[in-house]
Structure 1
Amino acid sequence: MSERFTRYSKYIRYIHILLDTFLLNLSFLIAYNIKFDIGDPYLASNSDYLRLLAFFNIIWLLLLYVTKPYNKTRIESNLISGVFASSIVVVILHGLILSSFWVIFQTYFYSREQLILTYVFLTIFLLIWKVLFVSFLKYYRLKGYNGRNILIIGQGQLAEELMVFFGKHPELGYKVYNIDDISDDKNKKYSNYITDYSDRNEIHEIYCCLPQLHPEFVQSIITYGEESKVKIKLISDFRGFISKGVDLEYLDYIPVLNINKASIEDVKSRIVKRSFDIFFSLSVLFLGFPVYFIVGIITKLTSEGPMFYSQERVGRWGKPFKIYKFRSMYTDAECTGPKLSSDEDPRITPWGRFMRKTRLDEIPQFYNVLIGDMSVVGPRPERQHFINQIVKLAPHYKKLHSVKPGITSIGQIMYGYAENVEQMVKRLRYDILYLNNISVAFDMKLVILTLKVMVQGKGK
């Protein structure tokens, strides 16, 4: 095999597995000693917690085997958010499985505080380790190590954009070669030239920019890649009509790109996203209960009316459901019909104004998440009254009903509450963007941005 393929990148995943597993055990031991402080840092005399630690490791390694969080492309491994998010998904699933066994087998003698501390320390350690890893990897590649040679075949906007992308990201460690003189009358007989060129320059990846290249030429490049272990990537510009992900299907032997299948419909994605919703909602409701109790009491004491407020909204596939909030308006605020709130809305109570600024009024919606009406992250649900008006101006609004509505969204963070239908349409462009980027990693990023809005009191 050529020297170009004797690389050490394959060992990166094993480094992650070993170090992440070490951090899991370290976090467990630190939490154990903080909780019990009995001078037994290695659990030598506590068989119950030794068994629990063994169970921790078995579940952890099984999850690593099933989810494969370290199977990242070179570009993905260069992003802190992607690397860290993959590990956090494993942590969340680990916590869900452990909690399930804790309830099913009623092992209540284990300390909840110790378990929570274990996951807190593990999350902190993983964040620090992933930041250091990605930073070192970028520095290492900028110094010229662990490089890759790529060849871009073709011409036009796609080839130019690829050249610009790799030129803007030297930290990826790519050295770019380009062959653009592949006209239709030549490219059938250019395959030998390309393979010789690739061997001479020790090319690791070849990008073929379609559709200028002849199918026979592309097939010869694919065959070369299979024989020489060179990665072959076919690039075509579908951006004009793909809105929600693609799926490859066949009509007999004819390949067809199905552009109506959303990536969220992938079974694995749905399971992981739902698991994240349940775990995160339970954590928020359980850990913050004393605060929410005080918020509810203040809501009740500062104005006449109930503590909670419910309203019918439209959810996934147009199905109506009841959304719950802490009441932020005076009672009978909409006796004259549905209205959108504004900055100086007289219907909002003084305490309600504070809750809206900090988003505390949205907390009861985590109950909606638990029962499956909503997700933690997703387009905000609206009332049918306003949906009818929005659709007249922006018919593509109906695309939002393909996913569950959320407590927070890109539109809510970047734009805030809309005061009229025109602003709702402007906010729509952010929510449509979410349909193209659904993932737990992106959800976590939006949750962090929402926390920032809450702490700064920038909601409206």
Structure 2
Amino acid sequence: MMFMVVMLLLAMYINGIPYGKDYWLLLFANLAIFSYLGESMQLYRVLRAGQFTLRIMLLFAVLSISFLLTVFMLFLMKEAETYSRLTLMSWYLLSLFSFIGWRLIYRKIKHQRYANGFGLRKVAIIGLTPSGLKLQEQINKHKEMGLKCIGFFDDRTEERLAEHSDQLIGKVQEAVEMAQRNEINKLYICLPLLAEKRIANIIHELGDSTVDVLLVPDFLLKNLMHANVSSVGNIDTISVFESPLSGIKEFYKRTFDILFSACALIGISPVLIGVALAIKLTSPGPILFRQDRYGLDGKRIGVYKFRSMKVMENKDVVVQATKGDSRITPVGAFIRRTSLDELPQFFNVLIGDMSVVGPRPHAVAHNEEYRKQVDYYMLRHKVRPGITGWAQINGWRGETDTLEKMEKRIEYDLEYIRNWSLWLDIKIIFLTFFKGFVNKNAY
């Protein structure tokens, strides 16, 4: 954030603005907003290798939104005339270019050092196993991590290791001794978890070294909902199925939901009135329809929608709408195809039953049907259901007339939950305007 301080001073100097308390207050306000958004959107989290572009996009988003909110705050407080618009714009552009420029320069210098063999950290892998081989592949693929794999250590004979035996450079004890002599920087243990006692002995011996020791489990990590190490008393635990939204993250998402849904309801109020009148004038029955769905933690909630059918099904058996469905009214066909029928769900967001972004809520009857057929189906209820979602903008919206379609929808829902960030929510909302409203599969 030092860049933002320096760039404000530079912008004021360029535009001939004297230094005063007004600009210092503005600086502190902007830094507070930037810090909040940076933490919310996980700007400084450790990204996976090969995601430098995502880091730049995140930085651009956080910086731009923080400046827009700062200007909006000045407008609401009627203080906008106190500040030079040219100085504010100069400050934003200088901060943006300095942030991005520094990251590009630093990345170039770091890569050049690694390419010349400077600063590389030596890595040894215990266990010539499938997980060990995949780890080596990723190390060799992503040179920007600055890791150099010196080889594998395994106690098995070359005959048992088959075609990969040429990569074996020693026994496990040799790796331990190298670590104790500080000849390596990182040591990955890629043994099957069934070898619990063997792993415990290795870790115990490595306690007499300063090497970084990392354990690579051999089970399917992709099935972990939120891999997080915590403890109960002095017992360590690894979460398998746990919502990523807890504590301050839950506060961030809920704050965003309230602000966005309140602004959205104000902005779309003419549309809401127009759709309500069209429904009332073209078919008998209520304007809104409240259907039971499963919400957070599998609890039942009532989800509001504009009525698009002649009937209002909310029973143990609900027949999904299909192409040419006779139950759908003429107005209903249009509002379903354009997702206008879902706009009242912003009220659900305000009262806390739903979120702006999340897995779409299914009818209770469909939940009971598919939870028995699709693995990990109910894990989608570890977060609040949403008006739009990752599955919807990727084309898995509308009728799920085959098990494969539902499986793909759940796959994207779980991917969203595993990778949640405020930046991802903003990205999904943005893409919804282009991909989420109109869909050929929505009847």
TM-score by length of 1: 0.69
- Counterpart CA distance in 1 for 2:224 and 2:380 is 12
Q: Does residue 1:429 correspond to 2:411, yes or no?
A: yes
Tell me what 1:237 maps to.
218
Tell me what 2:250 maps to.
270
- Counterpart CA distance in 2 for 1:292 and 1:299 is 11
Q: Does residue 1:193 correspond to 2:192, yes or no?
A: no
- Counterpart CA distance in 1 for 2:122 and 2:103 is 22
- Counterpart CA distance in 2 for 1:326 and 1:22 is 52
Selected match of 2:46 from 70, 73, 77: 73
Q: Does residue 1:443 correspond to 2:428, yes or no?
A: no
RMSD between superposed Cα atoms in Å:
4.8
- Counterpart CA distance in 1 for 2:261 and 2:91 is 20
- Counterpart CA distance in 2 for 1:83 and 1:177 is 29
Tell me what 1:174 maps to.
146
Selected match of 1:257 from 213, 222, 238: 238
1:246-302 CA distance string (max 9 Å, x none):
44455775544343443323x122122222322332343344445555555555566
Where 1:263 maps in the other structure, the secondary structure is: coil
Where 2:209 maps in the other structure, the secondary structure is: helix
Give the 5 Å matches for 1:207-246: 207-211=188-192, 214-221=199-206, 223-225=208-210, 231-239=212-220, 242-246=223-227
Give the 5 Å matches for 1:53-452: 53-57=26-30, 59-60=32-33, 63=36, 71-73=44-46, 75=48, 78-82=51-55, 84-85=57-58, 88=61, 108-110=77-79, 143=112, 144=115, 148-154=120-126, 155-170=128-143, 172-183=144-155, 186-188=171-173, 190-194=175-179, 196=181, 199=183, 205-211=186-192, 214-221=199-206, 223-225=208-210, 231-239=212-220, 242-249=223-230, 255-265=236-246, 267-297=247-277, 307-327=287-307, 329-332=308-311, 334=313, 338-394=318-374, 396-414=376-394, 415-420=396-401, 422=403, 423-452=405-434
Tell me what 2:160 maps to.
none
1:222-264 CA distance string (max 9 Å, x none):
5533xxxx64433223426953224445577554434344332
Q: Taking every aligned residue pair, what percent have the same amino acid on both sides? A: 26
Tell me what 1:453 maps to.
435
Q: Is the 8 A contact 2:49 2:142 kept in 1?
A: no
Q: 1:301–1:132: structure 2 CA closer, same or farther, 3 Å change rule?
A: farther
- Counterpart CA distance in 2 for 1:63 and 1:456 is 34
Where 1:179 maps in the other structure, the secondary structure is: strand
Where 1:109 maps in the other structure, the secondary structure is: coil
Q: Is the 8 A contact 2:30 2:70 kept in 1?
A: no
* Residue type of the alignment partner of 1:167: N
Q: Is the 8 A contact 1:249 1:255 kept in 2?
A: yes
- Counterpart CA distance in 1 for 2:120 and 2:9 is 36
How far off is 1:453 after superposition?
Answer: 0.6
TM-score by length of 2: 0.72
Q: Is the 8 A contact 1:390 1:425 kept in 2?
A: no
Q: 1:94–1:285: structure 2 CA closer, same or farther, 3 Å change rule?
A: farther
Q: Is the 8 A contact 2:393 2:431 kept in 1?
A: yes
- Counterpart CA distance in 1 for 2:398 and 2:407 is 12
Q: Is the 8 A contact 2:361 2:386 kept in 1?
A: yes
1:146-168 CA distance string (max 9 Å, x none):
86434131221122111222333
Q: 1:372–1:67: structure 2 CA closer, same or farther, 3 Å change rule?
A: closer
Q: Is the 8 A contact 2:125 2:188 kept in 1?
A: yes
Q: 1:63–1:455: structure 2 CA closer, same or farther, 3 Å change rule?
A: closer
* Residue type of the alignment partner of 2:417: L
- Counterpart CA distance in 2 for 1:141 and 1:319 is 50
* Residue type of the alignment partner of 1:431: D
- Counterpart CA distance in 2 for 1:341 and 1:88 is 39
Q: 1:395–1:181: structure 2 CA closer, same or farther, 3 Å change rule?
A: closer
How far off is 1:121 after superposition?
Answer: 11
Q: Is the 8 A contact 1:149 1:176 kept in 2?
A: yes
Q: Is the 8 A contact 1:390 1:421 kept in 2?
A: no
- Counterpart CA distance in 1 for 2:88 and 2:433 is 20
Q: Is the 8 A contact 1:148 1:204 kept in 2?
A: no
- Counterpart CA distance in 1 for 2:331 and 2:94 is 39
Greater Cα offset, 433-442 or 297-306:
297-306
